[in-house]
Structure 1
Amino acid sequence: MSQQRYFIELAYNGTNYHGWQVQQNAVSVQELLNKALSTVLRQSIETTGCGRTDTGVHAKEFFAHFDVHLAEGETNPLESTPFRGRGGLNALLPYDIAIKNVIPVHADAHARFDATARSYQYHIHFNKDPFLNGFSWQLRDMPNLDLMNEAAATMMQYVDFSCFSKSNTQVKTNNCKISRAEWVITENGIVFHITADRFLRNMVRAIVGTLMMIGRGEIKPEGIRQIIESKNRSNAGTSVPACGLYLTEVKYPYPLTP
Structure 2
Amino acid sequence: MRRIKLTVAYDGTNYAGYQVQPNGNTVQAEIETVLARMHRQPVKIVASGRTDAGVHALGQVIHFDTSLQMPAERFVKALNAMLPDDIHVKQAEEADALFHARYGAKRKEYRYYIRKTEDPFRRHYAATVTYTLNLESMCQAMKLLVGTHDFTSFSVTKAEVEDRVRTIYETEVLEVDDEIIFRFVGSGFLYNQVRIMVGTVIEIGRGKYEPADIAQMLEARDRRMAGITAPPHGLYLWNVNYEKVD
How far apart, in 1, do the equivalents of 2:195 and 2:100 lie?
26
| Residue 169 of structure 1: aligned partner | 159
**Rg bigger for which structure?**
1
Does residue 186 (structure 1) correspond to residue 176 (structure 2)? The answer is: yes
Shift of 1:128: 2.3
CA distance in 2, matches of 1:84, 1:175: 40
Who is 1:236 aligned against? 226
Q: Look up the equivalent residue of 2:71 and give its one-letter code.
A: E
Q: Which residue of 2 aligns with 1:51?
A: 49
Give 1:147's aligned residue: 137
Is 1:130 aligned to 2:120, yes or no? yes
Tell me the equivalent position of 1:33.
Answer: 31
Counterpart of 1:7, as a letter, is: K
Matched-pair contact (CA < 8 Å) for 1:117–1:250: yes
* Alignment partner of 2:190 out of 175, 200, 207: 200
1:1-38, Cα deviation, whole Å (9 max, x unpaired): xx111111110000111111111112110111111111
DSSP 3-state at the match of 1:60:
strand
| Count of residue pairs brought into register by the alignment | 244
Judge conservation of contact 2:12–2:56 (CA < 8 Å) in 1.
yes
Instruction: Using the TM superposition, give the Cα deviation of residue 59 of structure 1 relative to its aligned residue in structure 2, in angstroms.
Output: 0.2
In the other structure, the counterpart of 1:19 is 17
2:44 match: secondary structure: coil
1:48–1:64 contact (8 Å) kept in structure 2: yes
Which runs of no fewer than 5 residues in structure 2 stay unpaired?
none
- Kindly indicate whether residue 94 of structure 2 is the aligned counterpart of residue 104 of structure 1: yes
Inter-CA distance 172–5: structure 2 relative to 1 (3 Å threshold):
farther
For the pair 1:42 / 2:64, whether they are aligned, the reply is: no
TM-score normalized with structure 2 length: 0.94
Deviation at 1:43, TM superposition (A): 2.2
Structure 1, gaps ≥5 residues long: none
Contact 1:84 1:101 in 2 (8 A): no
Displaced runs of 4+ in structure 1, greater than 4 A? Answer: none
CA deviation profile, 1:193-221 (whole Å, cap 9, x unmatched): 11101000000000011111111111111
Mapped pair 1:79 → 2:71: yes
Deviates more, 1:208-217 or 1:162-171: 162-171
